[in-house]
């Protein structure tokens, strides 16, 4: 190999080394502003389902909404006849029931703790039945009523005195309205 060929190769080799060395260096990168994330589409508000006008809707439980009308009535000791002070309450209940002809009513008969369990179940049933008959006499059809006796099993007042016993001798009302 001649010297000129040797030198040419050396020059080429040197140039190649410079080229490689120059590529291996790092250049400072240009600063780039970060790109903001794409805007998120707003979630649409839920659309309420259209009201089905063919269904019956009850805004609240009528036993709660009309608690001031559907008040219990009370009875004297060992009696099931309707007392005079219960008549205005029963007239209000009858008026409410006539305005709401699709309501069904459960009349519950209750007793105080005196007497046997069997006797009190019978007396409670008589109280529920006399209450139902009285409401029917005011124009509410008997077919809208059911009766039940709880006897002495569901007292509202605890105690063994006349005040507690008087509160427990009662008839209560539970309304069942369509949709409730």
Question: What local confidence, expressed as pLDDT, does residue 131 receive?
Answer: 98
Residue 40 lies in a domain: no
Residue 50 lies in a domain: no
Q: In b/e form, how buried is each residue of 33-72, taking b as 16+ CB within 10 angstroms?
A: eeeeeeeeeeeeeeeeeeeeeeeeeeeeebeeebeeebbb
pLDDT tens-digit readout, 67-114? 999 999 999 999 999 999 999 999 999 999 999 999 999 999 999 999
pLDDT tens-digit readout, 17-36? 544 455 555 555 556 666 66
Q: How many domains does the chain have?
A: 1
Residue 1 lies in a domain: no
Which domain range does residue 139 map to?
62-176
Q: What's the CATH code of the domain at 94?
A: 3.30.1330.60
């Amino acid at each position: 190999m001649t010297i000129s060929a040797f030198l040419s190769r050396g020059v080429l080799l040197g140039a190649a080394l410079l080229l490689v060395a120059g590529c291996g260096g790092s250049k400072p990168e240009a600063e780039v502003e970060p790109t903001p994330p794409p805007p998120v589409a707003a979630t649409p508000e839920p659309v309420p389902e259209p009201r089905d006008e063919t269904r019956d809707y009850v805004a609240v439980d009528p036993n709660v909404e009309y608690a001031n009308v559907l008040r219990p009535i009370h009875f004297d000791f060992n009696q099931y006849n309707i007392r005079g002070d219960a008549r205005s309450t029963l007239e209000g209940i009858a008026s409410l029931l006539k305005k709401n002809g699709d309501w069904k009513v459960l009349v519950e008969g209750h007793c105080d703790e005196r007497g046997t369990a069997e006797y009190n179940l019978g007396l409670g049933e008589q109280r529920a039945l006399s209450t139902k008959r009285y409401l029917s006499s005011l124009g509410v059809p008997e077919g809208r009523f059911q009766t039940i006796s709880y006897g002495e099993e569901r007292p509202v007042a605890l105690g063994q005195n006349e005040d507690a016993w008087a509160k427990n001798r009662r008839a209560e009302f539970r309304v069942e309205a369509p949709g409730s």
